[in-house]
């Protein structure tokens, strides 16, 4: 297969122009889903797609599809994209890269007059981040049938505005049926959002699947008491017990090295007063592993150690699993296409699992799916300092071009 390659500068310039919409003082982006900033980002994307000769349609969840016809336009399309919304203090590349990379592939196909057997569609999914409307990935979730449309429309932001109202307000409540047509394959390019590729000096991550995720809520109940007159022995200190449990959660993750992850991200302490022994602590646990067995082993270790800590500290522990997203294995056909695209260009690469959720997780329920990762500086994401190099971004985009040409029949 000959190797036309994408335009490094054009991809970078498109990302930088898009990043001006919602730009923050610290070099990041605040483009929350379905805000005025998101509308401006969508408008720019739609204009670029139309300039690239695509026909644009918007579905009832506001997901945007831009179609480049195939030689046989009755075939199911190959779909590629990501999302344009950001975290409140997000970066320039999370999501935006996957959309701009798919656009750059279409532009490159145009430049070289390459026809594909199947249509190629670029997608921008609505509200991937979940920062304005919970849950995350609700646009691709409704599209894939994980949620129904009424559920999607009824999601509310902190001010009580529904997602359906916000779609109307920015003019992106589309008419096309969510979920149709089904694509023949889906590819999503994304920054890694972790440090592994950078640390190992790899340019491309061939994503085999997505780690399973389990979320837990823990409430530890002790007895609040005055810090001065209460002797050390006999205290039932909910924060001390929780601190030991946080260390135990970390050990549960370390016990499943190198793939396991265990994180306590949230803690709330009552009454949270300097001179009062805490009586009640709430914390969350986030466990991730690419295999169910790994998740099970971490959960067992977590429960056993935390129960023992509760018993010896005279506290009561309630530990509930509130979310269970099973591991996802991507389609062999898509992984093979990504691997072949990587080999076309000879990039240093490694197989990798995604530790984060992506629209690709829901899409994989209804279509063969694959992902391409590129390094980001220090693994930082969901952060205004998120950074990636033009060359790495171009490399991932070239891999997408090669994989997509195979899947679409160029």
Minimum CB distance to its own copies, residue 86 (Å): 13
Minimum CB distance to its own copies, residue 9 (Å): 28
Closer of 162 and 251 to its own copies (Cβ): 251
**According to the binding rule CB under 8 A, does residue 194 interact with its own copies?**
yes
Binds its own copies (CB under 8 A): choice among 260, 327, 341, 396: 260
Closer of 184 and 383 to its own copies (Cβ): 383
- CA–CA gap between residue 41 and residue 390 (Å, rounded): 21
Q: Decide: 229 and 407 in contact? Cβ < 8 Å.
A: no
**According to the binding rule CB under 8 A, does residue 291 interact with its own copies?**
no
Minimum CB distance to its own copies, residue 21 (Å): 22
Binds its own copies (CB under 8 A): choice among 162, 168, 269, 387: 269
**According to the binding rule CB under 8 A, does residue 203 interact with its own copies?**
no
Minimum CB distance to its own copies, residue 148 (Å): 24
Give 233's contacts (C-beta < 8 A, 6+ positions apart). Answer: none
Binds its own copies (CB under 8 A): choice among 278, 294, 327, 396: 278
Minimum CB distance to its own copies, residue 388 (Å): 14
The count of chain residues that interact with its own copies, using the rule CB under 8 A, is 66
**According to the binding rule CB under 8 A, does residue 39 interact with its own copies?**
no
**According to the binding rule CB under 8 A, does residue 292 interact with its own copies?**
no
Residues 297-336 that bind its own copies (CB under 8 A): none
Minimum CB distance to its own copies, residue 277 (Å): 6
**According to the binding rule CB under 8 A, does residue 154 interact with its own copies?**
no
Binds its own copies (CB under 8 A): choice among 67, 107, 244, 406: 244
The interface region with its own copies, picked from 69-77, 245-253, 336-344, 363-371 by CB under 8 A, is 245-253
Binding mask 329-368 for its own copies (x = CB under 8 A): -------------------------xxxx-----------
Minimum CB distance to its own copies, residue 395 (Å): 18
Residues 82-111 that bind its own copies (CB under 8 A): 88-89
**According to the binding rule CB under 8 A, does residue 201 interact with its own copies?**
no
**According to the binding rule CB under 8 A, does residue 158 interact with its own copies?**
no
Binds its own copies (CB under 8 A): choice among 192, 280, 344, 359: 192
Closer of 45 and 283 to its own copies (Cβ): 283
Token digits for 309? 């800590």
**According to the binding rule CB under 8 A, does residue 247 interact with its own copies?**
yes
Minimum CB distance to its own copies, residue 267 (Å): 5
Instruction: Read off φ and ψ for residue 71, nearest 5 degrees.
Output: -60, -40
- Backbone region of residue 8 per phi and psi (left: phi > 0; alpha: psi in -120 to 50; beta: other values): alpha
Per-residue HEC secondary structure of the chain comes to CCCCCCCHHHHHHHHHHHHCCCECCCCCECCCCCCHHHHHHHHHHHHHHHHCCCEEEEECCCCEEEEECCCCCCCCCEEEEEECCCCCCECCCCCHHHHHHHHHHHHHHHHCCCCCCCCEEEEEECCCCCCCCCCCCHHHHHHCCCCCHHHHHHCECCCCCEHHHHHHHHCCCCCECCCCCCCCEEEEEEECCCCHHHHCCCCEEEEEEECEEEEEEEEEECCCEECCCCCCCCCCCHHHHHHHHHHHHHHHHHCCCCCCEEECCCEEEECCCCCEECCEEEEEEEEEECCHHHHHHHHHHHHHHHHHHHHHHCCEEEEEEEEEECCEECCHHHHHHHHHHHHHHCCCEEEEEECCCCHHHHHCCCCCEEEEEECCHHHCCCCCCCCCCHHHHHHHHHHHHHHHHHHHCC
Contact set with its own copies (CB under 8 A): 88-89, 192-196, 199, 211, 213, 215, 223-234, 237, 239-240, 242-244, 246-247, 250, 253-254, 257-258, 260-269, 271-278, 284, 286, 288, 354-357, 379-383
């Amino acid at each position: 297969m000959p190797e036309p390659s994408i335009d490094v500068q054009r991809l970078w310039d498109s990302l930088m122009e898009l990043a001006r919409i919602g730009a923050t003082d610290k070099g990041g982006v605040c483009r929350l889903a379905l805000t005025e900033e998101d509308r401006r980002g969508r408008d720019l994307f739609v204009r670029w797609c139309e300039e690239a000769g695509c026909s644009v349609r918007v579905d009832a969840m506001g997901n945007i599809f831009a179609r480049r016809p195939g030689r046989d336009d009755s075939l199911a399309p190959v779909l590629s994209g990501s999302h344009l919304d950001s975290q409140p203090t997000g970066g320039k590349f999370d999501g935006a890269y996957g959309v701009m990379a798919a656009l750059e592939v279409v532009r490159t196909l145009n430049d070289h007059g390459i026809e594909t057997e199947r249509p190629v569609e670029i997608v921008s999914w609505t509200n991937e981040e979940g920062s304005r409307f919970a849950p995350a990935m609700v646009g691709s979730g409704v599209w894939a049938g994980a949620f129904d449309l009424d559920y999607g429309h009824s999601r509310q932001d902190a001010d009580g505005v529904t997602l359906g109202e916000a779609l109307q307000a920015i003019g992106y409540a589309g008419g096309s049926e969510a979920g149709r047509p089904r694509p023949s394959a889906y590819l999503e390019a994304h920054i890694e959002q972790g440090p592994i590729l950078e640390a190992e000096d790899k340019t491309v991550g061939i994503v085999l699947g997505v780690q399973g995720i389990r979320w837990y809520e823990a409430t530890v109940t002790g007895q609040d008491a005055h810090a001065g007159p209460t002797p050390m022995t006999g205290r039932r200190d909910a924060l001390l017990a929780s601190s030991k449990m946080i260390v135990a959660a970390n050990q549960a993750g370390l016990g499943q090295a190198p793939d396991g992850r265990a994180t306590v991200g949230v803690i709330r302490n009552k009454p949270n007063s300097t001179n009062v022994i805490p009586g009640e602590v709430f914390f969350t646990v986030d466990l991730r592993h690419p295999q169910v067995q790994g998740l099970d082993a971490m959960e067992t270790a977590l429960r056993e150690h935390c129960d023992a800590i509760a018993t010896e500290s005279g506290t009561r522990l309630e530990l509930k699993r509130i979310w269970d997203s099973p591991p996802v294995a991507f389609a062999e056909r898509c992984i093979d296409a990504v691997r072949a695209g990587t080999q076309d260009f000879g990039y240093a690469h490694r197989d990798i699992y995604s530790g984060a959720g992506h629209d690709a997780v829901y899409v994989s329920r209804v279509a063969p799916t694959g992902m391409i990762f590129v390094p980001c500086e220090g693994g930082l994401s969901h952060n205004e300092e998120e950074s990636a190099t033009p060359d790495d971004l171009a490399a991932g985009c070239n891999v997408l071009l090669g994989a997509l040409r195979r899947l679409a029949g160029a």
